[in-house]
Amino acid sequence: MENVIYEVSEGVAVITLNRPQAKNAIDAATAQAIEAAMDRLEADPSVRVGILTGAGGTFCSGMDLKAFLRGEVVVTPRRGFAGIASCPPPVPLIAAIEGYSVAGGFEIALSCDLIVASRAAQFGLPEVRRGLVATAGGMLRIPGLLPPNVAHELVLTGRMASAQEMAGYGLVNRLVDEGEALQGAKALAAEIAANGPVAVRTSKAVMRQSLHWSQDEMFERQDEAARPVFTSEDAKEGARAFAEKRAPRWSGR
């Protein structure tokens, strides 16, 4: 059985963590398979959006502690924990979450750009309860995504939080009924995939990278990144399609 399943349809890649017997926990083989999926996603110009989900009604329960005790390394050299946490792909990535998104599983979700979650989904960073710390992006990303006191509470207590609570703080983009997270993520992906792929990738890059830009340089660096978009074939096609009152035919150039 493959630890990770990669499927593409209509410009959307669905990457499924496929260890339901282990609640999709990350062992060495799974981390390497996720990295390979991210590399494939990044290299394929026909893929405009990626969806990351889990089989068997659970998104991911984090690091496989049995694998950890066996001495397995679940961090890859290029992309970090689970083959994604420290270096997500430039393609927009949606987490489709059913059940538990805990510890490293929550950190994988935080590596994505958008989250669609079942109303029954649960989130948490319980590392401190095991004498560990959330070093796969939890401590780094949560403070910028949630109100500071809420972020501190989640990390320092290790408590679980419902999808409704996380949606209330804006961390979850769309709440859906149980069992419909993947369907909801596909609907959101279709909205993104309908847009100009050059513009979408550049927009993601600017939003991610600008967090580290100073006020003095941010417009200059934004313009540097955006300039090729305005001279692209897609920009010309978008204008022509608008004038001709038809759907654009994007080339990704």
**Which positions are catalytic?**
107, 127
How would you classify the pairing of strands 100-102 and 174-176? Answer: unpaired
d(CA 141, CA 48): 24
CA 116 → CA 65, 112, 125, 221, 250, distances in Å? Answer: 27, 11, 18, 31, 26
In 163-237, which ranges are E strands? 174-176
8 Å CB contact between 85 and 111: yes
Question: How far apart, in whole angstroms, are the C-alpha atoms of residue 77 and residue 149?
Answer: 33
